[in-house]
């Protein structure tokens, strides 16, 4: 296994999953549930998200072949999508910060999809599985590492929120967004260069 590639992919996936930025949202959505039920609900939703992401990772090449997508187009689309997501992390709109809170036990939506298994996470997994399919085990390990850290942070989210507060969570999310902007820009440039070479 190539641990350098695994570490890079794991950090990228962790930044996209954005557990620190999701801490206030998870707590708001689960605020009506009994405190002892919240870890079980979070665990269930994260397992569902992991299964969805693993499905896209292992079926990536088949999905791309079925849709007739090329590697440069996936790079460019993934870079644009990541760039938009990172800008929303840095400059959240008022509508997003005041989004509605569900009072019932959430199932799959919105915690598993799209907050963890969102379009940007899926796009990166498709890109990884299609660009280097021989490293599918490496990408699986990277996904699992990012998922484990995300799970630990979200299950401990009440303590984290009490420690850093809403403003601290927003500051950390913006920092993660800035790093993601750089990754998105590099992905976009790679896609453009591959497209130019293919002409």
Identify the pLDDT of residue 143: 98
Identify the pLDDT of residue 101: 47
Identify the pLDDT of residue 6: 97
In Å, how far are 4, 66, 134 from 1, measured between CA atoms?
A: 9, 29, 11
Give the tens place of pLDDT for each residue, 20-54.
888 888 888 888 888 889 899 999 999 999 999 99
Please state the pTM of the whole predicted model.
Answer: 0.83
Identify the pLDDT of residue 96: 54
Report yes or no: 166 and 24 within 8 Å, Cβ to Cβ.
yes
Identify the pLDDT of residue 129: 92
Domains of the chain in sequence order:
3-198 (1.20.1250)
Give the tens place of pLDDT for each residue, 168-198.
888 888 888 898 889 889 989 998 998 899 8
Report yes or no: 52 and 108 within 8 Å, Cβ to Cβ.
no
Give the tens place of pLDDT for each residue, 123-160.
899 999 988 999 999 999 999 999 999 999 999 988 88
Residue 39, C-beta contacts closer than 8 angstroms, at least 6 positions apart: 155
């Amino acid at each position: 296994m190539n641990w350098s590639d695994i570490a890079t992919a794991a950090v990228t996936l962790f930044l996209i999953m954005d557990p620190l930025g999701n801490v206030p949202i998870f707590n708001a959505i689960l605020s009506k549930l009994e405190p002892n039920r919240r870890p079980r609900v979070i665990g269930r939703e994260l397992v569902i998200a992991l299964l969805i992401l693993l499905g896209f990772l292992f079926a990536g090449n088949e999905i791309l072949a079925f849709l007739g997508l090329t590697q440069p187009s996936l790079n460019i689309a993934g870079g644009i999508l990541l760039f938009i997501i990172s800008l929303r992390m840095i400059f959240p709109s008022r509508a997003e910060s005041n989004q509605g809170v569900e009072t019932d036990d959430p199932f799959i939506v919105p915690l598993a999809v799209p907050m963890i298994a969102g379009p940007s996470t899926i796009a990166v997994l498709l890109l990884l599985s299609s660009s280097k399919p021989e490293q599918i085990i490496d990408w699986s390990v990277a996904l699992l590492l990012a998922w484990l850290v995300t799970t630990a942070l979200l299950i401990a989210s009440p303590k984290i929120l009490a420690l850093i507060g809403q403003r601290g969570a927003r500051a950390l999310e913006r920092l993660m967004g800035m790093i993601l902007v750089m990754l998105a820009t590099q992905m976009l440039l790679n896609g453009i260069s591959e497209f130019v070479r293919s002409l």
